[in-house]
């Protein structure tokens, strides 16, 4: 979300006017034209246009006769478009694994099997309908200046202890997702709660330190680089890595107790006008030989089947019905209330 708020608002308002027939709120839309197009591929995605545009162009370089319409929306709007409005898109890309899982579970996705999808590890696909093409770990982003003289924490317990012992240094200067607003933040928090009880102690300590709550990773990274935050917890590592080169003060840390890994997934909606073309695009995203290309063009880490062997702490969020649990309204309400009780203290 690097676009200026006003611009974004204007675009949103404009698109909302244009696409009133669709009902859901799109953020950006661009048509990647082709000379003498034979087909048009429509993509509904949560990934920002400037991140994904190079990849679409690479796809068009290989398939020069195909025009691509790329529409971005938030994950909840994407869900609304497909779940409630039967919007016509060939491809749906989202980082909200739980919502993608629900779409597949409830029958809103088409089956697609190919040799390319066969090259994915088991944890990166579900029911031959949902395929992951990036693996993005949740990391701790910190300011090296703020941590001057302190030992670098290697796991959550050490971080909790560090924050407890140095309230003066961290008061008002710790940030994390506002899980009420951010789907990714909610996902990370729920996964944390599954892995260990340290989430609640962490929330307790952060709440006492007057934690700042954010909608998105990019803003947290920005505040750390500009010195407003000493650390930001559960930031998408893929976004942070892009800023490391420009900001020598910025530090990035993967805990060795466990590192939650979010998977960006793609599916073919059941309403897809051109499922064959969609299948071809899915193959382009997940194929083994394109993984380096995806990393180079988007900066997002591509699926690496051997990562679990090398990184003992990596915990890719498991695709499957377990993700439906946190979509349960009662569950969500209970979880958020408990989290807020710890995080927002009077």
Partner 1 sequence: MTPVRARGSLRRRLLLQLLLVAAILSVALYFTVRALAQQAAETTQDNILIASATAISEAARAERGQILVDVPYSALSMLGSIAEERVFYRVTADDLTVTGYDDLPAPATTVETGNPVFTTTIYRGDEVRIAALPRRLTVGDETVILTVLVAQTRLGLAAVSLQISIAAAAAGVGFFLLSGALSWFATNNAMRPLNRLAQSVERRGPQDLSPVETSAPTELVPLLQSLNTFMARLSASLARTEDFIAEAAHHVRTPLATVRTQSEIAMRSVRKPENKQILREVIRAADESSRSAGQLLDHAMVALRSDNLEKERLNMKDLAQDVIRSISPTADLKDIRITCSGSDRTSAVEGDTILLQNALRNLLDNAVKYSPEDSRIKVEISEADSSVRIDVLDEGRGLGDGDRTHLTERFGRGDNVRDVIGSGLGLTIVDEVVRAHGGSLALTDNPERRGTCASITLPSA
Instruction: Give the footprint of partner 1 on this chain (CB under 8 A).
Output: 104-107, 126-128, 194, 318, 320-322, 324-326, 328-331, 334
Nearer to partner 1 by Cβ, of 201 and 270: the residue is 270
Nearer to partner 1 by Cβ, of 128 and 304: the residue is 128
What is the Cα–Cα distance from 154 to 251, expressed in whole angstroms? 13
CB 262 to partner 1: min, Å: 17
Instruction: List, in sequence order, every beta strand (DSSP E) within the chain.
Output: 28-32, 39-45, 66-72, 91-94, 125-126, 130-143, 174-177, 212-214, 231-236, 250-253, 259-267, 314-316
Nearest-5° Cα angle at 78, 77 to 80: 60
31 torsion bin: left (phi>0), alpha (psi -120 to 50), beta (else):
beta
Nearer to partner 1 by Cβ, of 194 and 222: the residue is 194
CB 123 to partner 1: min, Å: 12
Nearer to partner 1 by Cβ, of 181 and 328: the residue is 328
Nearer to partner 1 by Cβ, of 309 and 329: the residue is 329
Q: Are 131 and 266 in contact (CB under 8 A)?
A: yes
DSSP 214: E
272 torsion bin: left (phi>0), alpha (psi -120 to 50), beta (else):
beta
CB 102 to partner 1: min, Å: 10
CB 190 to partner 1: min, Å: 8
Identify which of 31, 71, 63 has the alpha carbon closest to the alpha carbon of residue 277: 63
Nearer to partner 1 by Cβ, of 133 and 335: the residue is 335
What is the Cα–Cα distance from 237 to 135, expressed in whole angstroms? 10
């Amino acid at each position: 979300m690097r676009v200026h708020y006003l611009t974004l608002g204007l675009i949103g308002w404009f698109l909302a006017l244009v696409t009133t027939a669709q009902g859901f709120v799109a953020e950006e839309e661009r048509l990647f034209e082709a000379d003498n197009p034979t087909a048009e591929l429509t993509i509904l995605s949560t990934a920002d246009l400037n991140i994904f545009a190079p990849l679409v162009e690479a796809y068009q370089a290989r398939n020069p006769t195909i025009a691509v319409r790329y529409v971005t929306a938030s994950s909840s709007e994407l869900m609304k478009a497909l779940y409630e409005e039967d919007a016509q898109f060939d491809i749906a890309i989202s980082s909200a694994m739980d919502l993608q899982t629900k779409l597949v579970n409830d029958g809103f996705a088409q089956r697609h099997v190919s040799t390319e999808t066969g090259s994915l590890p088991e944890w990166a696909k579900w029911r031959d309908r949902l395929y992951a093409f990036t693996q993005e770990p949740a990391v701790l982003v910190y300011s090296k200046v703020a941590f001057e003289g302190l030992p670098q924490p290697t796991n959550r317990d050490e971080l909790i202890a560090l924050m407890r012992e140095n309230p003066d240094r961290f008061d008002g200067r710790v940030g994390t997702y506002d899980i009420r607003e951010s789907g990714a933040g909610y996902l990370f928090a729920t996964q944390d709660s599954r892995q260990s009880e340290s989430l609640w102690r962490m929330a307790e300590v952060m709440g006492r330190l007057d934690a700042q709550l954010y909608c998105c990773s990019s803003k947290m990274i920005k505040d750390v680089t500009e010195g407003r935050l000493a650390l930001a917890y559960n930031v998408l590592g893929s976004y942070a890595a892009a800023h490391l080169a420009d900001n020598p003060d910025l530090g990035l840390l993967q805990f060795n107790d466990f590192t939650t890994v979010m998977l960006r997934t793609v599916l073919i909606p059941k309403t897809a006008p051109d499922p064959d073309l969609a299948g071809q695009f899915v193959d382009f995203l997940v194929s083994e030989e394109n993984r380096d290309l995806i990393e180079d063009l988007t900066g997002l880490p591509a699926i690496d089947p051997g990562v679990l062997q090398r990184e003992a702490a990596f915990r890719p969020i498991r695709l499957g019905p377990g993700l439906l649990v946190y979509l349960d309204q009662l569950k969500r309400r209970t979880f958020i209330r408990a989290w807020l009780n710890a995080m927002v203290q009077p």
